[in-house]
Amino acid sequence: MAAKAAAFKRSSAVAVRNPKLQQTLHHVVRHFTEARDAAVASEFPPETWEQMRERASSIKLQTLLNLDFYLDMVDRNVRRNGGHVHFAADAAEANRIVLDIAKRNAVKRVIKSKSMVSEEMRLNPTLEAEGIVPVETDLGEYIIQLAKETPFHIIAPAMHKTRQDVSRLFQDWLRSAPTDDIKTLCAIARNALRQQFATADMGVSGANFVVAETGTVVLVTNEGNGRMTTSVPRVHVALAGMERVIPAIEDVALFLRLLPRSATGQRITSYNSFISGPRRASDEDGPEEFHLVLVDNGRLNLLKDERLREALKCIRCGACLNVCPVYQKTGGHAYGWVYPGPIGAIVTPAMNGFARGADLPFASTLCGACKDVCPVKIDIPKLLLDLRPEAARRTGTWAERLLMRRWVDMMRARESLERSSRLARLMQRPLSREGVIRRSRLPLLAAWTQARDFPAVAEKSFARRWRDGLSRAEP
């Protein structure tokens, strides 16, 4: 368990030694950051963009502070629209709800458009165990599903796959001819998935936003699979983290300006769907049943902590991943769960009560690039710092913990600091050269000196030099 809880160190070390992965990461991350920067800078003066972020942040925070009120509003309005609302405390309950709906409707095949919550729930294996076939229809997710992997990036789940990888997967699973042409690969997927769309009995989608005032689920997509999923099958189930709520329909404009620009550098995505319940009697097509499942699954851990609460403002744009120097080197899988990158380093340990990702709060240089791009102004570095004491308690070695405790004691009092410094001066003599300790081979010290020189304790303390006349030497 401990190994699983704190696996980043090992998994990231593997990732940085994979040259192919490094090349792809470099390419993709640059593509995303350049597109985002261009989209933001070319259209808004910096002050305007800043005001938009500020407003979005405050709307999200106010909604979280009144989440009970707004969820009740969602519930009432979705039901007024003729839909059903379910509240799921955890992944198991959410799975049970979806399975119930599927069984009641004798569902054999489920088409899915992208839903991170369904990844949290591990919905696909749950459905499969009951003999129901789930089919991912977002091209990236489809590739990942065929490869039996998990998403590599919130926005680009299959970014680590080359066209050759995809061609091989399609040859194996769809018996298609080998090809190097991306257009052809897309066409192969289109044809394979069309049959699935036409025959599935249930569609499962995520939800980018849930509008409380109108009981509307908003989907932001590019491929059109989201529209298929929510229009063609007889039953539509939308899965939403409970923090997806925004109050009013007029708030959507702001978020639609922030999300695509931050995510892919687009002014708007090709499709935005606004789903308010099942088809009405007079409609020509559309699902006859609509269900919204609101999922907690550990979000309460964040909500109840005044400092961590703001992480729930996240609109999952992925911008913080792309600019993160750690993510840029390790990629998404190293983070070990559904949400990678800086935001993942917060929500993974917090949502899972540190049973996962306990070492993730350290997977950051605290450079602050994530904070600068975040469209809802989450102070990610600060939250990572807030999580570190707990993370250290969970992951540090006993020797390190002991050392740190001694360190704190030592720094607390003048005499103890001086006494310790004297002792350190004596002990470091065989190790230090020109004021630094280099590449020590002693246990514990080795890790601290492996990548940088460890400054030795100065021969003369500052206080000493001050007393000896440093102050008078200044002009």
Partner 1 sequence: MTTQPEASPAKEAFLQRIRQALGRAEPATSPPDHPPLKTNLVRQEEKLRTIRAKVEARRERNAERLAENATKVGWHVHRVETHDEAAAAVAAIAAGLHARNVVRTAEDCFRQADYDGPLRRARAAPIILASGRNRSRDSLKATAFDADLGVTGVSWAIAETASCVIVPRRGVARLASLAPPVYVAIVGIEQILETLDDYFATVRLEHMKGRGHVAAYANFISGPSRTADIEQTLTVGVHGPGVVHMLIVGRE
223 binds partner 1 (CB under 8 A): yes
Contact status: 216 vs partner 1 (CB under 8 A): yes
Distance CA 446, CA 186 (A): 51
Site for ligand SF4 in 249-278 (CB under 6 A): 262
Contact 347, 311 (CB under 8 A): yes
Strand partners, 134: 110
Residue 270 interaction partner, one of partner 1, ligand SF4, none, beta carbon < 5-8 Å per kind = partner 1
Pick the closer one to ligand SF4 by CB: 363 or 373: 373
Interacting partner of 316 out of partner 1, ligand SF4, none (Cβ under 5 to 8 A depending on kind): ligand SF4
Window 334-353: residues binding ligand SF4 (CB under 6 A): 343
Out of 28, 302, 373, 456, point to the residue binding ligand SF4 (CB under 6 A): 373
- Phi/psi at 440 (5° precision): -70, 150
> How would you classify residue 265: left for phi > 0, otherwise alpha for psi between -120 and 50, otherwise beta?
left
Name the binder of 317 from ligand SF4, partner 1, none, CB < 5-8 A by kind. Answer: ligand SF4
Q: Which is nearer to partner 1, 214 or 262 (CB)?
A: 214
Among 21, 135, 159, 240, binds partner 1 (CB under 8 A): 159
Q: How far apart are CA 238 and CA 230, in angstroms?
A: 9
Considering only residues 31 through 50, tell me which ones interact with partner 1, judged by CB under 8 A. Answer: 31
- Please give the Cα distance from 7 to 399 (Å, whole number): 19
Cβ atoms of residues 309 and 353 within 8 Å: no
326 binds ligand SF4 (CB under 6 A): no
Determine the Cα–Cα distance for residues 156 and 143; give it in Å rounded to an integer: 11
Decide: 323 and 33 in contact? Cβ < 8 Å: yes
Residue from 276, 297, 330, 348 in contact with partner 1 (CB under 8 A): 276
Residue partners of 370: CB distance under 8 A and separation at least 6 = 319, 320, 323, 324, 341, 342, 343, 380, 381
Sole binder of partner 1 in the list 280, 307, 405, 419 (CB under 8 A): 280
Question: Tokens 């401990």 appear where?
Answer: 2
Rule CB under 6 A: which of 233-252 touch ligand SF4? none
Return the residue of 215, 241, 318, 357 that touches ligand SF4, per CB under 6 A.
318
DSSP 154: S
Nearer to ligand SF4 by C-beta: 134 or 341? 341
The reply to whether 64 sits near ligand SF4 by the rule CB under 6 A is no
Name which position in 56, 91, 326, 376 contacts ligand SF4 (CB under 6 A): 376
